[in-house]
């Protein structure tokens, strides 16, 4: 039969989720492949955030592959690309990549990135075929935190702001992101997380300004709870950033994420950092974060983007 690639629909989500978990669970050698990523929801959250950025491969009415992407303004993150293990070796992954590249081109993306596995020549060759070049390692890191009583009163959360202040804060987050890479904008991801109650956005204000009114110095988009991209019991920092060379602000943002995790009853903070951001990587290690797995970032075109030593940012392109 012929493989057809088409836009993902709501009624594809269960099948696409099964393909995703089975594909990566098999790749990582899990005894029960369907337990991959635990109760974290990735296929559904990505689709809900940006339905136009998700596609499936179908044969005879059966979903045999899927791909999704994240739109961060001028930056586009490709993946995950997943193919049912029963269909490996048939070139389906090569058919799933072009629709995302075409989408990025229409949206004016200037930097495309992805996370893949450095020990897998097959994966790297796939993306090199489409013009992606190998960059620096990305460390997926974690830190255990101690639960405490009380709420998250000592951190400022976007969800707690009134509508006008929320709009201003989102503009401030965009300003911070754009200082790292022109056009980088997490607005779509932040809005989806807050509106769908998948987590929240932790805000860091400039020192010396009026309470709640000072300019945004940094932010952390965090997932937590059922239906989010976080595994149960964890606070997943999907993206976080402070202005360039603002080491003290980055340390404060890390501390804020730990306090938020503790207040929510999450025993662990999970965050990824590209090692090209050497100072950020070193600071996270010094703060007690430990690498749980390594991936490699690939970019198209071949440039570092915001993976540079003076950049203090966390992201996870998985």
User: pLDDT digits over 272-315, tens only?
Assistant: 999 999 999 999 999 999 999 999 999 999 999 999 999 999 99
Q: For 304, which DSSP code?
A: -
For the chain, the structural domain boundaries read 3-109, 142-315
For domain 3-109, give the CATH number.
Answer: 3.40.630.30
Phi, psi (5° rounding) for residue 165?
-70, -35
Q: Which residue has the tokens 């293990």?
A: 85
* The pTM of the whole model exceeds 0.85: yes
Pull the structure tokens for residue 70.
């994240």
pLDDT at 147 over 70: no
Residue range 142-315 forms a domain whose CATH class is alpha beta
Average pLDDT estimate for 222-239: 97
Strand partners, 199: 223
Residues whose CB falls within 8 Å of the CB of residue 127, separated by 6 or more in sequence, listed in order: 78, 97, 114, 116, 298
User: Can you give the pLDDT at residue 212?
Assistant: 55
Q: Is 134 helix (H, G, I), strand (E, B) or coil?
A: strand
pLDDT band, residue 70 (cuts 50/70/90): very high
Mark residue 174 as left, alpha or beta (left: phi above 0; alpha: psi -120 to 50; beta: remaining). Answer: alpha
Strand partners, 300: 112
pLDDT band, residue 1 (cuts 50/70/90): low
């Amino acid at each position: 039969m012929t493989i057809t690639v088409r836009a993902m629909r709501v009624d594809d989500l269960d099948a696409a989720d099964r393909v995703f978990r089975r594909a990566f669970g098999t790749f990582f050698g899990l005894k029960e492949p369907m337990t991959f990523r635990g109760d974290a929801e990735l296929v559904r959250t990505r689709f809900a955030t940006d339905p136009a950025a998700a596609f499936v491969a179908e044969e005879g009415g059966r979903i045999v592959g899927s791909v999704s992407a994240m739109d961060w303004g001028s930056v586009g993150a490709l993946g995950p690309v997943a193919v049912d293990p029963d269909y490996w070796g048939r070139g389906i992954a090569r058919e799933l990549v072009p629709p995302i590249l075409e989408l990025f081109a229409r949206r004016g993306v200037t930097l495309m990135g992805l996370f893949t596995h450095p020990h897998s020549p097959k994966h790297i060759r796939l993306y090199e075929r489409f013009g992606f070049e190998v960059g620096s390692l990305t460390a997926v890191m974690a830190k255990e935190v101690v639960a405490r009583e009380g709420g998250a009163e000592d951190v400022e959360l976007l969800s707690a702001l009134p509508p006008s202040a929320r709009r201003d804060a989102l503009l401030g987050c965009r300003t911070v992101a754009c200082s790292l890479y022109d056009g980088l904008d997490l607005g779509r991801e932040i809005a989806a997380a807050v509106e769908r109650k998948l987590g929240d956005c932790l805000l860091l204000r400039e020192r010396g300004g009026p309470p709640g009114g000072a300019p945004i110095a940094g932010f952390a988009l965090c997932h937590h709870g059922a239906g989010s991209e976080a595994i149960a019991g964890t606070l997943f920092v999907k993206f976080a950033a402070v202005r360039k060379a603002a080491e003290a602000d980055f340390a404060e943002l890390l501390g804020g994420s730990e306090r938020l995790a503790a207040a929510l009853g999450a025993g662990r903070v999970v965050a990824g950092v590209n090692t090209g951001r050497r100072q950020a990587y070193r600071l996270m290690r010094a703060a007690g974060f430990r690498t749980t797995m390594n991936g490699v970032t690939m970019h198209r075109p071949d440039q570092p983007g915001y993976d540079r030593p003076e950049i203090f940012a966390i992201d996870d392109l998985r």
